[in-house]
Amino acid sequence: MTDATILRSVAAREPRALDEFYDRFARRAYSLARRVCVDETLAEDVVQEVFLLVWRHPERYDPARGSVSTWLMTMVHHRAVDAVRREATRRRHTVPPGEDGAEWLPPGPGADEAALDAVVAGHVREALGALPAEQREALTLAYFGGFTQREVASISGIPLGTVKSRMFTAVRTLRGLLEGRVDRGDEEGTS
């Protein structure tokens, strides 16, 4: 049974459909959540939240945007990052002030650097959107999902050589699309 078929069964509220869906993806989902969250309990919460979202809103899957596994792993990644951010915020509010009474703030980018990062991110998103769906899926799983090429092949159900070829072609295409638009190299020391 294909991933999309199982998801349609979940949407139709067929008995055991969510069990089958969970059995098929839970291990990969937890692995990704654990890598992002580091904390075991936080990762478990993320996976539970994502599968609950699948149960409540299976219609949110859009086959035009990628495979079921890409959709699911993207949700896991986003939820895991959000969970880590929430946890960091919670910890920041519970950290006692420094000895001199001043609150410690971690060093971060200035407003100019944050604005530049947002522009660069916009260019990258636009370039990714120009890629064929199968190349975009391979890059998304590898770079944003944190999967190895072998794991991408397993998730996508395609040979490893095909994944490597798609990623190589996609990266070369992205370089061409972004050339002259994105330059984040170190400019110190140049005249």
Q: Would you list the DSSP string of 125-174?
A: HHHHHHS-HHHHHHHIIIIIS---HHHHHHHHTS-HHHHHHHHHHHHHHH
Residue the block writes with tokens 């596994």: 69
Quick one: DSSP state of residue 12? T
* 8 A C-beta contact, residue 135 and residue 169: yes
Confidence of residue 6 (pLDDT cuts 50, 70, 90): very high
* 8 A C-beta contact, residue 68 and residue 23: no
Give me the pLDDT at residue 106, please: 55
Greatest mean pLDDT among 40-49, 139-148, 151-160 lies in 40-49
Confidence of residue 190 (pLDDT cuts 50, 70, 90): very low
Give me the pLDDT at residue 68, please: 94
* 8 A C-beta contact, residue 160 and residue 153: yes
* 8 A C-beta contact, residue 113 and residue 84: no
Query: Has residue 103 got a pLDDT over 60?
Result: no
Give pTM, 2 decimals.
0.51
127 vs 129: CA distance, rounded Å: 5
Query: Has residue 94 got a pLDDT over 80?
Result: no
The whole-number average pLDDT for the span 124-132 is: 82
* Residues in CB range of 148: below 8 A, 6 or more apart: 142
The whole-number average pLDDT for the span 34-49 is: 92
What angle do helix axes 149-156 and 160-178 make, rounded to 10 degrees?
A: 110
Q: What is the residue-averaged pLDDT of the chain? A: 82
Give me the pLDDT at residue 87, please: 83
